[in-house]
Structure 1
Amino acid sequence: MEVEAVLAVYGDDCAILDYFPPHLHLHIKPRTVDISSQQDFIVFFSLFVEAVIGIKASPEYPSEPLHIDLIESKGLDGERQKQLITSGQHNACELSSCLMLVALCELRI
C-alpha cells in the first residue's frame, strides 16, 4: 500500500520498478512559486533545477533503511547533488524500522 500511496501523490513523476521490495524512481523539482511574484529570477532559476532519484529497499525493508541514488540531475552542482543524497540517506537511517517510503519522497531540491 505504501508504493500505491507514493504513486497516488506523485503520479507521472514516479516510476515503479518493483513493488516488493519497493524500488522506484522519483522525479523531484522545486516546489512551485507564484510566477506573478517579484521573485522572477528565482522562478526562472527553479525551472531549470530538477533530479531523478532512485529509492530502493532491501528484502528486509522496513527494518533496514532504503538506499537512495541520484539517477540524473539538471541544474545541480556536485555539492548540491551530494547534499541531496546525503540528506536522503540520513533521513532513511533516522526512519529505519518503520515504513519510510512516503516520508523520503518528500525530499526536495
Structure 2
Amino acid sequence: MDLEVGSFVLMNAVTSRQARNIKSSMSWWKATFKSTTPLLLLGFARLASTLSLDYQVHVGEYGVNWNFFFTLAGVSILTSILNVPAEYSGILGSVILVGIPSYL
C-alpha cells in the first residue's frame, strides 16, 4: 500500500501545474479547494461506508478513521501552502526522507 501511495503522489507531482510552470487564473485558495473537494468527499464516503457496514479496517495501515483519500488531500493542501521552487524540491525531499524516522 505504501508503494501505491508513494507512486500516486510522485505522479501527481510530476504532472502538476506547478511542475509544468502553468499559472492558474484562480487564486491558490480556490484552486486548492477545487482540487481537494473530490478527494475529501471520497474520503468521507469511504469512512461512512466502512463504519456503516462494519467493514474490517486494518488499524496499522492508516489508523481507524484515516484513509488514502485524506492523505492525498493533505498532500495537495500542504504543497499549495508551501510552494517549494522546483530546483529545491529534491533537496527538501531528501532532508525529509533522512530526517523523519521510519517508525513514525
**TM-score for both structures, normalised by structure 1:** 0.29
Larger-Rg structure: 2
Instruction: Compare the two structures and name the one with the higher strand fraction.
Output: 1
**TM-score for both structures, normalised by structure 2:** 0.30
Instruction: Compare the two structures and name the one with the higher helix fraction.
Output: 2
